[in-house]
Amino acid sequence: MALPQAKYRKDYQPPAFTISHVSLDVDLDDHATRVESELRIQRQGQHNPPLELDGEGLTLLSIALDGRTLASDEYQLEGGTLRIADVPEQFTLQIVTQIDPANNSALEGLYKSGGAYCTQCEAEGFRRITYYLDRPDVLAVFTTTVRAPKQGFPHLLSNGNPQQRGDLDGNRHFVTWHDPHPKPAYLFALVAGDFDVLEDSFQTSEGRDVALQLFVDKGNLSRAEFAMQALKDSMRWDETRFGLSYDLDIYMIVAVDFFNMGAMENKGLNIFNAKYVLADARTATDQDFLAVESVIGHEYFHNWTGNRITCRDWFQLSLKEGLTVFRDQEFSGDMSMRAVHRINDVRIMRTHQFAEDASPMAHPIRPDKVIEMNNFYTVTVYNKGAEVIRMLHTLLGEEGFQRGMRLYVERHDGQAVTCEDFVAAMEAANDTDLSQFRRWYEQAGTPRVTVSDSYDVERQEYRLHCQQHTPKTPGQAVKKPFVIPMRSFFYDAQGEVMTLHSDSLQNDVLQITQNEQEFVFSGVSERPIPALFVGFSAPVRIDYPYTETQRLHLLAHSSDAFIAWDSAQQLYVKVIQEAISQQRPVQISDAFISALTTQLQDHETDPALRALLLQLPSAEAVAGEYEQVDIDAVAQACEQLKQLLASRLAQVLTLLWQANKSNGAYQFNAQHIAQRMLANTCLNYLALTPNAELDADLMAHFGADNLTDQLAALQAAVHCQHPLADTLIEQFSQQWQAQPLVMDKWLAVQASAPSADTLDRVQALTQHPAFNYANPNRVYSLIATFTHNLAALHRSDGAGYRWLADVIQQLNQSNPQVASRLLSSLLQWKRLDIDRQVLVKAQLERLRQTPKLAADLFEKVESSLAVEND
């Protein structure tokens, strides 16, 4: 078989043909779904190229051009292409194909999720339904008829508005849908099944009524109410903050159990992983509620940033994803707990995106080379993409940013465009020059900004010296300097913010644009303590030679929650690193303990932020700080730090636990969420030292009326190896065996226990009835969680690597997208010690030999093994 081929951004060519109208008629059947499509096609340009349509795994039944059936020598089927030479300038093509949705385990194209039929077409899934120009710059008006038995499929859905419905012979029926908005095939959707429907409506600011429908598995209506509210909140928010309203008469969301990702923004018919729809206090945690709100918002916001203005080609994915993540982050922040959301976003960047930037799969937010597009739905494209948009927002301000958005929409509504078009609109609307800023789209890697300062008391002058350096990434050895907005506050010895004067300082932002640069401030009456990258104003690593005293000063006085939180985080990292480099147990100074104690007891401080102060950097994040990492030392030091804090803060932890643990019924609001965060974080330390009183508390907490507390009790017991752990594991599974989404938490808690025997437990759990290799949620909960567990994955005997490779091999054929996601933790094998390098490399080489290796895995395995020859 031919090896998968790379595509390059520079090779983009506009389509030789466009399709203006598509009529689809889909007659559903488990193994023989018949798809009739009628395409109205126009040739572009003067030359006469062959028509080449994409198709994968299809059985072609017939093909007719302008009503005449083509003989088999009038077209060629080759690999994934249907080629017809010599077509007229304008014509109609009728194609009949047959597909087998019940055997579609890759969950791309048309497949069965439980009893329902559903689709997933982004990025290139439509070609598994019928032959088509499956690329985002071909926009067509779709009319879709869905046919199915009435029994089992009372709801037949597709994009747009319903036009016609009726009965068919054999107790079957049909519905025809029409979507007036031209769209690329990746936004096509079809669903057929038996659901409960939650109905509501929304009136747009223009006074139009939109029907809202949420389809969930039977019996789950009450668990859909929160999602419905989140949808209405999103619709209102996009009007008030961005001036963007909804454009169809109906907005539908369907929740399905089998889904590779979070959700999909198909026009008018979102399809969601049920995990991001279903939420009530008993079966969802606070974090789940917040995730539902954010994903509902994200998919809704795509209606403008993604659907009405879409991507010209898939290299431009961040055009819609970075921007839409930025919008959903702002939505969540405007709804509640802005600082908590921001800190969580930073954690994702530092733990996962920085790791990706340092891995063989590092890519710019707009990649240049892709083998399998599904491999590029990454934290880089999404989250770093959002940080790049956020930097634009920082540089232009809310008003300037919104001015740019308005121009972007005005210029490009209804088009398929590029990241360049977006930047150009921002630039034109603000009459500014973003040439250098564009490097964020071009260059991969995490810049490191090294700052030092000096103070001249006589001249009353303060100088900040900044250097930026971005390490090389595959294919990019030398980097040019970025535009890095460094929002900075300066504190005096009393902890007051100083007002500093410099021409370079605008709205507290200094722009670092060169490899080396100095900022001079005059009239400075005392040496300031700088708070750099306030709000994490750029996705960079920050180096400033803070003393412990300076960090503690910022911890105590920063008005920015990120800076306060980060001061503690950096001190944690430092004590871990010192213990490792000096080969001694972790030590914490009295000053640090007392500063933490003061903060924790400060009733003025939001309990959520106090909880975040106590949450240690993960072992995975600490490991990411090293170019050559000693896994055992990192895992051990992280555990020691937790133990040490538990004993040195025992008193305050107990007090906070007592004061904040729930009393009274569950309420979902910022105050209650914050108190639960604080109580549960404390519990996670207290469970390290079992005693009768705490055991009783732990049991009571486990019996709470909400999953947040119940799960916190379970997690504290399991992660602290508390004597009650096995009892709670057993009780939890008895209670929740009928609720797969809750059992996912149970799997994840066990898979994240920081110990080498976790591997044995995870292996055993694959045999448990709660686990199923065919369902991505189960695989992510158990196995992806395990891949982020440093102690378990990197077991020194290599058993973790071997087993993971077995699992990936098994998933290679059934669901390559899921398999590929599990591989990421192995790609950075060069950072490990020599023994582990040998062990991981052997598994990568074994994977490379897998018969019929999917393109998804091929791309990652090859890039990882290529590092050797660097």
Q: Which residue is nearest to ligand B3K (CB)?
A: 122
The whole-angstrom separation of Cα 281 and Cα 707 is 6
Measured from the CB atom, the residue of 265 and 356 that comes closer to ligand B3K is 265
Which residues have CB under 8 Å from 603's CB, separation 6+?
A: none
Binding-site partner at residue 389 among ligand B3K, Zn ion, none, CB < 5 to 8 Å by type: none
Task: Give the count of residues interacting with Zn ion (CB under 5 A).
Answer: 2
Residue 694 phi, psi (nearest 5)? -65, -40
- 316, 374, 715, 789: which one contacts ligand B3K (CB under 6 A)? 374
**In one letter, which amino acid is 402?**
Q
β-bridge partners, 490: 530
Sign of CA dihedral 104, 4, 318, 56: negative
**Interacting span for ligand B3K (CB under 6 A) from 259-267, 409-417, 704-712, 826-834:** 259-267
Angle between helices 740-751 and 758-765 (to 10 degrees): 160
Cβ 123 to ligand B3K shortest distance, Å? 5
Cβ 248 to ligand B3K shortest distance, Å? 18
CA distances 211 to 228, 233, 248, 376, Å, are 12, 15, 9, 34
Binding-site partner at residue 202 among Zn ion, ligand B3K, none, CB < 5 to 8 Å by type: none
261 is a contact residue toward ligand B3K (CB under 6 A): yes
By three-state DSSP, how is residue 85 classified?
coil
Binding-site partner at residue 123 among Zn ion, ligand B3K, none, CB < 5 to 8 Å by type: ligand B3K
Active-site residue identified among 265, 299, 356, 620: 299
Closest-CA residue to 122 (of 307, 387, 304, 276): 307
Measured from the CB atom, the residue of 273 and 567 that comes closer to ligand B3K is 273
Measured from the CB atom, the residue of 327 and 553 that comes closer to Zn ion is 327
Burial of residue 410, with CB atoms counted within 10 A of its CB: 0-12 exposed, 13-18 middle, 19 or more buried: exposed
Measured from the CB atom, the residue of 233 and 461 that comes closer to ligand B3K is 233
Binding-site partner at residue 621 among ligand B3K, Zn ion, none, CB < 5 to 8 Å by type: none
Binding-site partner at residue 744 among ligand B3K, Zn ion, none, CB < 5 to 8 Å by type: none
The whole-angstrom separation of Cα 810 and Cα 766 is 13
Cβ 322 to ligand B3K shortest distance, Å? 10
Return the CA Rg of the chain: 28
- 237, 251, 377, 462: which one contacts ligand B3K (CB under 6 A)? 377
- 106, 123, 175, 335: which one contacts ligand B3K (CB under 6 A)? 123
Measured from the CB atom, the residue of 65 and 264 that comes closer to ligand B3K is 264
Q: What is the DSSP letter of 132?
A: B
The whole-angstrom separation of Cα 867 and Cα 863 is 7
* Site pattern 263..302 for Zn ion (x: CB under 5 A): ----------------------------------------
The whole-angstrom separation of Cα 107 and Cα 817 is 9
Measured from the CB atom, the residue of 298 and 701 that comes closer to ligand B3K is 298
The whole-angstrom separation of Cα 714 and Cα 736 is 13
**Rule CB under 5 A: which of 311-330 touch Zn ion?**
321, 324
The whole-angstrom separation of Cα 680 and Cα 697 is 12
- 41, 84, 192, 264: which one contacts ligand B3K (CB under 6 A)? 264
Binding-site partner at residue 634 among ligand B3K, Zn ion, none, CB < 5 to 8 Å by type: none
Measured from the CB atom, the residue of 321 and 345 that comes closer to Zn ion is 321
Which residues have CB under 8 Å from 425's CB, separation 6+?
A: 404, 405, 407, 408, 411, 412
β-bridge partners, 214: 198, 253
Closest-CA residue to 832 (of 638, 636, 623, 582): 623
Cβ 374 to ligand B3K shortest distance, Å? 5
- Tokens 């007719």 locate to 64
**Interacting span for ligand B3K (CB under 6 A) from 258-266, 508-516, 615-623, 695-703:** 258-266
Closest-CA residue to 223 (of 284, 157, 182, 165): 284
**Rule CB under 6 A: which of 497-556 touch ligand B3K?**
none
Measured from the CB atom, the residue of 123 and 712 that comes closer to ligand B3K is 123
Measured from the CB atom, the residue of 271 and 622 that comes closer to ligand B3K is 271
Binding-site partner at residue 122 among Zn ion, ligand B3K, none, CB < 5 to 8 Å by type: ligand B3K
- Tokens 């922040």 locate to 333
- 134, 257, 265, 856: which one contacts ligand B3K (CB under 6 A)? 265
Binding-site partner at residue 377 among Zn ion, ligand B3K, none, CB < 5 to 8 Å by type: ligand B3K
Measured from the CB atom, the residue of 258 and 771 that comes closer to ligand B3K is 258
Cis preceding-peptide flag for 123 (omega within 30 of 0): yes
380 is a contact residue toward ligand B3K (CB under 6 A): no
Angle between helices 707-719 and 670-686 (to 10 degrees): 20
Cβ 320 to Zn ion shortest distance, Å? 6
Closest-CA residue to 124 (of 56, 76, 191): 56
- The H or E element containing residue 393 is helix 385-412
β-bridge partners, 147: 27, 174
Measured from the CB atom, the residue of 321 and 560 that comes closer to Zn ion is 321
Cβ atoms 500, 462 nearer than 8 A: yes
Which residues have CB under 8 Å from 553's CB, separation 6+?
A: 491, 495, 529
What is the edge-to-edge ordering of all strands in the sheet holding 109-113? 109-113, 116-120, 190-193, 155-158
**Interacting span for ligand B3K (CB under 6 A) from 129-137, 260-268, 467-475, 717-725:** 260-268
Beta strands in 648-735 (DSSP E): none
| Torsion-angle region of 338 (φ positive above 0: left; ψ -120 to 50: alpha; else: beta) | alpha
**Rule CB under 6 A: which of 302-361 touch ligand B3K?**
302, 321
**Rule CB under 5 A: which of 654-683 touch Zn ion?**
none
Task: Give the count of residues interacting with ligand B3K (CB under 6 A).
Answer: 12
Cβ 298 to ligand B3K shortest distance, Å? 5
Measured from the CB atom, the residue of 270 and 675 that comes closer to ligand B3K is 270
Measured from the CB atom, the residue of 277 and 711 that comes closer to Zn ion is 277
Binding-site partner at residue 266 among Zn ion, ligand B3K, none, CB < 5 to 8 Å by type: none
The whole-angstrom separation of Cα 374 and Cα 32 is 27
Cβ 785 to Zn ion shortest distance, Å? 23
Cβ 186 to ligand B3K shortest distance, Å? 8
Sign of CA dihedral 52, 54, 56, 58: negative
* Site pattern 270..309 for ligand B3K (x: CB under 6 A): ----------------------------xx--x-------
| Torsion-angle region of 382 (φ positive above 0: left; ψ -120 to 50: alpha; else: beta) | alpha
The whole-angstrom separation of Cα 769 and Cα 762 is 13
**Does the active-site annotation cover 299?**
yes
Q: How many residues appear in the chain?
A: 870
Cβ 870 to Zn ion shortest distance, Å? 33
258 is a contact residue toward ligand B3K (CB under 6 A): no
Q: Provide the binding-site residues for Zn ion, judged by CB under 5 A.
A: 321, 324
Note the residues at the interface with ligand B3K (CB under 6 A). Answer: 122-123, 261, 263-265, 298-299, 302, 321, 374, 377
Residues forming the active site: 299
